[in-house]
């Protein structure tokens, strides 16, 4: 891997980086691959990386219709945590958080993980009772979570209105200290560069348009840049999962909906922890650049339109101002949306599809950034061995036949 001296960094800065090597190649598409990964978001790139690194399968292409990280990976609000309710989810998401904790070293790329805590606010006696029960569930699963009182909430979230006159008075909070934020596109770029260095071909501007399937088994992939022969396909396209499933002739229990977020102008550091209020339906954190990153719930209707709207923005801003009245004069800078893949038990699908040789990673909905490493890791294992790893076997499509759902809707209220 190329390294740079301080002098060369200065030289490159003034020469518009002319001497810098590309972080990953732009190779030509080959006629055949051992595995074709569809989707150059975090999950697809991590899948390719772990296929090469953990399983020695490097004749892999990642096909991305646009640019890598241009989907939900580059649009999310970057919260990472593992405070889920069910043992299957706790094991999966905590493994993911542990991979995040070692990711900058593993990929030799700074993903700017900041574990300053994830604080969930409680606004009523009922909230407190339910969440105390949830804390017990988390502890039983070996996941850290602490109950904190109002004074501690006020210390962690400076400026928060803890007065009794608030429309939703604050009664305490749950803190996962290991939770926090990471740089989203850093995660995509880090996995891309590391996968490329192991021989994976990352092909951008290459949309999958169909599949060649014979006798129920995949034989190839049709793309906007030609046909590829392959016996193994891993789909990781989030909000477009149903579109790809339709091309392959099966249906998924997934609805695609828009999820919005927005950022303010940059401010000096205000708070470290990410703060979420399920009752108000909003959450806020501060990026390393100083912007306040804010979001809320889903637009509750199916859509493939990646754009924000005034109603949701108004709801999010009203909630944030309710919590932090002193932010009322901060200017808003940008608003956007991503298309997320919603499954009605709010848990992912990682595993086999009805087509032999075709596997899928989807259903992460509003909360799959934190799952990027574990999603890629378990998907790579499943593809390499043609059977799921212990961590993802409960997350198969079969649960929609057996009814063994993993209902995580209540894990954080607005489950990011």
Ligand X SMILES: Cc1cc2nc3c(=O)[nH]c(=O)nc-3n(C[C@H](O)[C@H](O)[C@H](O)COP(=O)(O)OP(=O)(O)OC[C@H]3O[C@@H](n4cnc5c(N)ncnc54)[C@H](O)[C@@H]3O)c2cc1C
Q: What residues line the site for ligand X (CB under 6 A)?
A: 38-44, 63-66, 70-73, 75-79, 207-208, 236-238, 240, 259-261, 295, 338, 340, 364, 366-370, 416
- Nearest-approach distance from CB 211 to ligand X, in angstroms: 11
- Alpha-carbon span 361 to 238, nearest angstrom: 8
CB-wise, 193 or 370, nearer to ligand X? 370
| 392 burial level (CB within 10 Å; 0-12, 13-18, 19+) | buried
CB-wise, 85 or 171, nearer to ligand X? 85
- Nearest-approach distance from CB 65 to ligand X, in angstroms: 4
State the pairing for strand pair 172-176/118-122.
antiparallel
- Nearest-approach distance from CB 341 to ligand X, in angstroms: 7
CB-wise, 173 or 239, nearer to ligand X? 239
Contact between 101 and 82 (Cβ < 8 Å) = no
Residue 180 backbone dihedrals phi, psi, to 5 degrees: 165, -140
Q: Give the Å distances, CA to CA, from 123 to 107, 109, 133, 320.
A: 41, 40, 15, 14
Contact between 29 and 363 (Cβ < 8 Å) = no
- Nearest-approach distance from CB 118 to ligand X, in angstroms: 10
Contact between 332 and 262 (Cβ < 8 Å) = yes
CB-wise, 65 or 349, nearer to ligand X? 65
Using DSSP's 3-state secondary structure scheme, residue 138 falls into: helix
- Nearest-approach distance from CB 113 to ligand X, in angstroms: 13
CB-wise, 171 or 213, nearer to ligand X? 213
- Alpha-carbon span 374 to 100, nearest angstrom: 9
CB-wise, 36 or 153, nearer to ligand X? 36
- Alpha-carbon span 387 to 95, nearest angstrom: 19
- Nearest-approach distance from CB 7 to ligand X, in angstroms: 37
Q: Retrieve residue 307's tokens.
A: 């754009």
Q: Which residues make Cβ contacts (< 8 Å) with residue 73, sequence separation at least 6?
A: 41, 42, 43, 184, 185, 187, 188, 369, 372
CB-wise, 65 or 91, nearer to ligand X? 65
Q: Which residues make Cβ contacts (< 8 Å) with residue 128, sequence separation at least 6?
A: 122, 171, 172
- Nearest-approach distance from CB 262 to ligand X, in angstroms: 9
CB-wise, 128 or 212, nearer to ligand X? 212
Q: Bridge-partner residues for 302, per DSSP?
A: 257
- Nearest-approach distance from CB 404 to ligand X, in angstroms: 22
């Amino acid at each position: 891997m190329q390294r740079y001296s301080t002098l060369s960094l200065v030289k490159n800065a003034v020469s518009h980086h002319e001497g810098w090597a590309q972080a990953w190649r732009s190779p030509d598409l080959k006629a055949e691959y051992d595995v074709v990964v569809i989707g150059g978001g975090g999950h697809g790139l991590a899948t390719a990386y772990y296929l090469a690194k953990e399983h020695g399968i490097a004749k892999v292409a990642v096909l991305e219709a646009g640019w890598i990280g241009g989907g939900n990976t580059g649009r999310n609000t970057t919260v990472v945590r593992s405070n889920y309710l069910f043992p299957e989810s706790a094991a999966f998401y905590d493994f993911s958080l542990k991979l995040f904790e070692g990711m900058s070293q593993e990929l030799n790329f700074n993903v700017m993980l900041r574990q300053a805590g994830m604080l969930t606010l409680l606004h009523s006696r009922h909230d407190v009772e339910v969440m105390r029960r949830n804390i017990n569930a988390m502890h039983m699963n070996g996941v850290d979570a602490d109950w904190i009182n109002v004074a501690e909430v006020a210390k962690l979230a400076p400026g928060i209105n803890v007065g009794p006159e608030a429309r939703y008075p604050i009664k305490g909070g749950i803190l996962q200290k290991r939770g926090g934020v990471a740089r989203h596109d850093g995660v995509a770029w880090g996995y891309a560069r590391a996968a490329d260095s192991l021989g994976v071909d990352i092909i951008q501007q290459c949309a999958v348009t169909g599949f060649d399937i014979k006798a129920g088994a995949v034989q190839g992939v049709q793309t906007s840049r030609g046909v590829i022969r392959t016996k193994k396909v891993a789909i990781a396209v989030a909000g477009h999962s149903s579109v790809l499933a339709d091309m392959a002739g099966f249906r998924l229990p997934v609805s695609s909906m828009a999820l919005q977020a927005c950022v303010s102008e940059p401010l000096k550091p205000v708070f470290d922890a990410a703060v979420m209020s399920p009752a108000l339906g909003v959450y806020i954190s501060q990026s390393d650049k100083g912007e306040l990153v804010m979001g809320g719930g889903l637009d509750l209707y199916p859509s493939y339109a990646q754009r924000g709207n005034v109603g949701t923005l108004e709801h999010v801003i009203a909630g944030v101002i309710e919590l932090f009245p002193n932010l009322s004069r901060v200017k808003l800078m940008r608003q956007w949306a991503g298309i997320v893949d919603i499954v009605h038990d709010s848990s992912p699908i990682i595993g086999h599809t009805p087509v032999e040789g075709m596997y899928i990673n989807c259903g992460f909905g509003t909360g799959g950034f934190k799952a990027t490493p574990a999603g890629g890791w378990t998907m790579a294992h499943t593809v390499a061995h043609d059977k799921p790893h212990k961590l993802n076997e409960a997350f198969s499509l079969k649960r929609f036949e057996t009814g063994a759902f993993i209902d995580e809707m209540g894990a954080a209220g607005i489950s990011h």
